[in-house]
Amino acid sequence: MADEEPVDQKKYLEEGCKPKCVKQLRAYEACVKRIEGDESGHKHCTGQYFDYWACIDKCCTDSILEIEIIEGQCCVTLASCGAVLS
């Protein structure tokens, strides 16, 4: 078992979060279509692109960590294993 390569869970988390960020994806796609014929190079969709990935990142973070208030203290719970960090 020690010889196995670790699997990066990030891509699986991102795929699971994409359906929750459809609104941001549609805004990005609409922007790309809107500026399709721009020859000047001044128009871009960077904001919409970052909004989309920020949504996915937040969803992934929420999937991994749960913030709880326990007896007046803020604790971070690793959702995947149930461990509590304070």
Domains identified in the chain and CATH numbers: 9-66 (1.10.287)
Question: What is the rounded CA–CA span in Å between residue 6 and residue 72?
Answer: 37
Q: Is the pTM of this model over 0.75?
A: no
pLDDT of residue 85: 42
pLDDT tens by residue, 30-76: 999 999 988 888 899 999 999 999 999 999 888 777 655 555 565 65
Residue 44 pLDDT: 93
82 or 55: which leads in pLDDT: 55
User: What is the distance between the alpha carbons of residues 35 and 37, in angstroms, rounded to a whole number?
Assistant: 6
User: Predicted confidence band at 82 (pLDDT cuts at 50, 70, 90)?
Assistant: very low
Handedness of CA 51, 29, 10, 60 (dihedral sign): positive
The neighbour count for residue 57, using CB atoms within 10 Å, is 16
> If you average pLDDT over residues 18-31, what whole number do you get?
97
